[in-house]
Amino acid sequence: MNPSFNERAENAIPVNIRMISGCRDDQTSADVSNIAEFELPNPAGLAAGAGTSAFLNVVYADDKKPDDDLSFQDVLMKIRGILSEGGYAQIPQLSSSRPLDVETKFDLSPENFTGTKRAVLIGINYVGSRYDELSGCHNDALHANEYIKNVHGFDDDNITVLMDDGKHTNPTRENIMAAYSKITTESKPGDVVYLHYAGHGSNVKDKNGDESDGKDEVLCPVDFRKAGFIVDDDLLKFLVAKFKRDVFVTSIMDCCNSGTILDLPYNFKADGNQTAMVPEEDYNFDNIISTVVTMSGYDPTFTGVNIPLPTFADGDTLLKKQSPFFDQECWRKYIHYSVATNKLRRQPICVALNIDQKLLKPGTDRDKDWTCDNEIGDQFQLDNDYYKKNDWDRGHMARFATSAWGETEKDAKDAGDATMFYSNSCLQHKNLNRDEWLGIEDWVINLTESTNYKVSSFSGPIYNDIEGVPARTVTPWGRIPAEVPAAFYKIVAFVDKSGKISTRAFIVLQDSSIIADAKGRKKLKNFQTFQVTTAMVEKKTGLIFHESLKTSNPMKTDFAPVGSGDDIVNGDVSPPKGDYSQVIIAAALINPVGKDYTSEWVSIANYSPQQVNLDGWTLSNKGRTPYNLSGFLGCGDTLRLNPRKRGRDGGTVILNNIKGSMSLKDPHGNVIDVAHWDRPGEGEVTIFDP
C-alpha cells in the first residue's frame, strides 16, 4: 500500500474504526421471520435481521472456543456462509479507517484497553407504517445488547438504546444524531465504542461528487419521510470525524445499501475473490476533509467585543431543536454564520455572520448547488419550486462572497459553499437582490472603519405591514403559498478606530420603486437613504438586540451620516418611503462670491416617474428650525431655493463654507436624502452624487 495514502487517512480520520455491513452498497439486507436456524440464545419464534443474526451466531460460537480465535476474514466468511446456506444473496463487507490485516484477531476491545466501554444500539421496525414496517430490528438491538454485556462486559449505564417500541428513546433523526453526538463527545482516548444499527437503508443521488457510483448511502430514521435521511456524508462529518484519536470503534450496519455507509477509505468484501483489505485508491481526501469542516456557527466574541445573538420577543414561530448542530436550540450553526428559522414562513428570521475582511478570498468559485438542509428539515424551507420561473431570487442572507474567507483558498471555498442552503435564503426580488441589496453587501465587504478588519452582521426579512408595500405570496403548483417579505434589514457592527464598537443599521423595502429596475444603486450615496436605528429594526422584526448595538448606532431621531461622531440618540427613525427615493438634493452653491445671505442656493431634483407634492416637506441641518417646502415638483423638474432666507415658519438652513450636511424629509419625517460637503471652493457649485 502507498504509505502516503495511509498517512493521509490517519490525518483525515483520527479514530480507529472498523465497520461490518450486512451487504454491499448495491444489495438489500433481509428481515427474517424466525431466526431459530441462527442458534442464538432464546431465538425461537423471534424475527430479526439476517445480517445481525449471522454475525451474532459467529461471534457467540467464537466466544465458546477461546483457543480458536477467529480473524476478521474468518468472521466475514463465516457470516457469508451462513447467509448463503439460508438462501440470502447479501455479501457482508468490512471497511476501516486504518489499513487492517484481515487475518487480525477479531475483537471489540484492543489488548491495551484501559477506558470505558460505550454503545449506541438502534433498532427500527417503523411500527404502524403502511409501507415501511419491519419485524426484526427491535430484536436485533436487544440481541446485540445481550451480546456486548454478556460477552464483552459492557455496562447498562453506558449503553444507549433507541427503538420505536414506546419504551425506549424513539429513533427519530434528531434523536439518533443526538445519541451519536453524545457518544463522540463522551468517549475519550482508550475507550471502546460499539455501534449497532438495524433498520432501513437506501441510497440517493450523490450531491458532492465523492461517490464513484454516483449515489450516497443513507440510514432511514423512523421519521425519515418528514425529517429526511441520515446521509453517509453526515455520518462521516458528525459521527466518524468527531471521535477522538485512540478511541477504538466497531460498527455493525444491518440495513440495505450499507457497504460503505461510513465512507471509510479501506474495504474488504467477503465475496471469495478478495484476500486482503484494499485502499480506495481514488479516495478524495481533500473532499473528506472538506466534509468534516466544523460548522462552528456565529462567534459572539469575533470582533474582540461581545456581541451576543439577538433574542426573540415572540418565540412561537421559531424552529427549535435539541441538537449538537444548534446553538440555544434555535440557531442552526454553519461555517462563520448561524440561522434562526421561522417555521411557519419557512424562511430565516435572522442570519448572524462573522466576516474577516483580511481573510476574504475574492473570486472563490462556487461548486455546491442550492440544497435543503436536512438538519432544518425540508418542510421548514422554501426549495427551488418557489424561485423558478418568476422574478424572485434566492436572496442570500449570509452572502457567498462575504462568507468565503479563511486561512486557505479551500477554507474560503468550504465556507462559501456552506451558504448554499435554502435555510439561508429569502424571496427577494431580482432587482433588489442584484442592485440595492448587493450594494449594501459590497459596502460591508469594503468597510474601512474596522480597526481589526473583523465585522459581524445580522440580516433578515421583515413581514410587518409597511405602507406602500403590497402583500405578496408565491404559490408553486401543488404547493402551499409562501409569503414574500415586505422589506429586509441588515445590522453591521465592528470595532472602530477609537477601539469602541460601532454599528450601522439598514432597512430596504420591496416596494414598487425599488423593484421597478436595477438602476437604484447608482443613485445612492453610501446607502444613507436606507439607514435606520437599531431600535427601528427591533420594532419591525420583534428581535431584541444587545444594548451595545443600540448605543453604538450613530443614527439620531433627526439624522446623522454614516461615520459621524455626533451624539447618539436611541430613537426611532422610520425607513424612507421608497416612492420618493429618486427625489434628491442635486446641487448647491455653498460658498458664493460675495454675500452668502443673498447668493446661496440649493437645488432639489425629482428623478422619479411622477409629480411630487412638496407640501409638508422640509430641508434642515443641525440645530435649526427646518425650512418648509411647498408646491408641486414635476417629473424631471428641479426646484432652486435660497434656504438662508427664512421661510414662512421662520425655518432656515445655513450652508457652512467649511463643512456641513443637510437632509431632505417628506411630510412623515422620513429621511429622503442627505447631502454632505467639505471645503467647497469659492464660487463653485457643488454637485451631489445621485
- Is 514 within 8 Å of 581 (Cβ atoms)? yes
**Taking each helix axis from N to C terminus, what angle separates 137-150 and 50-64, rounded to the nearest 10 degrees?**
20
Q: Among residues 23, 137, 256, 350, which one is catalytic?
A: 256
- Is 573 within 8 Å of 554 (Cβ atoms)? no
**Taking each helix axis from N to C terminus, what angle separates 72-85 and 50-64, rounded to the nearest 10 degrees?**
130
Task: Measure the CA angle with vertex 578, ends 574 and 579; round to 5°.
Answer: 125
CA 621, chain centre distance (Å): 43
Give the start-end residues of each E strand in 107-168.
117-123, 159-163
- Is 406 within 8 Å of 412 (Cβ atoms)? yes
Please measure the distance between the N-terminal and C-terminal CA atoms of the chain and give it in whole angstroms: 67
Other CB atoms within a 10 A radius of the CB of residue 389 amount to 7
Indicate if 200 belongs to the active site.
yes
584 three-class SS: strand
- Is 450 within 8 Å of 498 (Cβ atoms)? no
Q: Among residues 200, 396, 429, 676, which one is catalytic?
A: 200
CA distance 95 to 22: 12
686 three-class SS: strand
- Is 104 within 8 Å of 72 (Cβ atoms)? yes
Indicate if 396 belongs to the active site.
no
CA distance 311 to 316: 12
Residues 379, 381, 385, 391: is their CA dihedral positive or negative?
positive
CA distance 398 to 420: 9
The residues annotated with a catalytic role in the active site are 200, 256
